[in-house]
A = this chain, B = another copy of it.
Amino acid sequence: MTRPIVFCTDYGLLDIFVGVCHGVIARIAPEARVIDLTHHVARQDVLQGAILLARASRYMPDDAVYLAVVDPGVGSERRPIAVQARSGAHLVGPDNGLLSMAWAELGGAERAVEIAAPEVLLQPVSRTFHGRDVFAPAAAHLAMGAALEELGPPIDVGDLQALEPPRPMVAPGSVGARVISIDAFGNVQLNARPEDLDAAGLGPILQLGPRAIPRVDTFTDLRPGSVGALVDSDGFVALVVNRGSAAELLHLKVGDAVVLGG
């Protein structure tokens, strides 16, 4: 059976980039299911893309081919790669760290190749749209059952670019965290886990600037409009407002620093 493709980019949906890649896939792998994870990674934000792919990976089919493109260096010397994870999943994209947190979740990178086989690339390869000309065809061939080696020459997995997830700073009585994502409801996900708050000795009421906010189990433990902290569905601490937007209320955006006291 054709393997499913998990597709994630920063292309947005306003133009035809995503649709054209779907067409390229359909020409090579007419039966492949394509799961559009999101095409709204913040533009050229490789780290955010890497975090989202890693978070999603445990919910995707085990035999998935990941096709991810957040690629500020397109057309430069960064290599296009395909990686086999120990789980058996494959990952296709630029060698800029974008795929690295996902393969770590999937058991680690086992083998890798540079995508270079002329029968895989869409000729002539453009300088600016490798999603269409390099990555989508490579993923579609893998979905059809091609072996990794058919895509190009091997690369030492130790040479691949990798990104580290940012860690919070934990000190007695305080945790210095960063906003790693804000969802459509305005929930503010931090890079801290409940263990970090415990390690800092923080109790059931957290100090956030002048605010004292409770740790709660769910939105409805809060009065409508009031702020709390909960463990979100990814296992991270999130600042939330019941029936409201924490991002708006607290004036927070992705990348901002947040200090939680106890």
Which residues of A are interface residues toward B (Cβ below 8 A)? 1, 4, 6, 8, 10-20, 22-24, 26-27, 30, 33, 35-40, 43-44, 52, 55-56, 59-62, 64, 72-76, 126-129, 132-133, 181, 183-185, 217-220, 230-233, 243
Query: CB distance B219 to A184 under 8 Å?
Result: no
**Residues of the B chain whose Cβ atoms lie less than 8 Å from the Cβ of A15:** 38, 40, 52, 181, 183-184
- The A contact surface, by secondary structure, is loop
**A59 in complex: contacting residue of B127, B132, B183, B233, CB < 8 Å:** B132
Q: Which residue of chain B is the closest to A14 with respect to CB atoms? A: B40
**Other CB < 8 Å A-B pairs besides A76-B220, A129-B233, 6 of them?**
A6-B23, A16-B38, A20-B37, A23-B61, A26-B61, A75-B219
- The smallest beta-carbon distance between A202 and chain B, in angstroms, is 20
Query: CB distance A16 to B37 under 8 Å?
Result: yes
**Residues of the B chain whose Cβ atoms lie less than 8 Å from the Cβ of A27:** 59-62
**A30 in complex: contacting residue of B4, B22, B23, B128, CB < 8 Å:** B4
**Residues of the B chain whose Cβ atoms lie less than 8 Å from the Cβ of A30:** 1, 4, 33, 61
Copies of this protein, total: 3
**A128 in complex: contacting residue of B20, B43, B233, CB < 8 Å:** B233
Q: Within the assembled complex, what's the spacing in Å between the Cα atoms of A230 and B220? A: 42
Q: Which residue of chain B is the closest to A53 with respect to CB atoms? A: B16
**Residues of the B chain whose Cβ atoms lie less than 8 Å from the Cβ of A1:** 30
Q: Within the assembled complex, what's the spacing in Å between the Cα atoms of A18 and B19? A: 15
Known: A76-B218, A218-B74, A233-B129. A36 touches B60 (CB 8 A): no
**A19 in complex: contacting residue of B22, B38, B133, CB < 8 Å:** B38
Query: CB distance A217 to B75 under 8 Å?
Result: yes
- The smallest beta-carbon distance between A98 and chain B, in angstroms, is 15
- The smallest beta-carbon distance between A241 and chain B, in angstroms, is 12
Q: Within the assembled complex, what's the spacing in Å between the Cα atoms of A18 and B127? A: 32
**Residues of the B chain whose Cβ atoms lie less than 8 Å from the Cβ of A59:** 20, 23-24, 27, 132
**A218 in complex: contacting residue of B56, B128, B133, B185, CB < 8 Å:** B128
Q: Which residue of chain B is the closest to A73 with respect to CB atoms? A: B220
Can you give 6 contacting A-B residue pairs, CB < 8 Å?
Answer: A6-B19, A20-B37, A26-B35, A127-B218, A127-B233, A133-B233
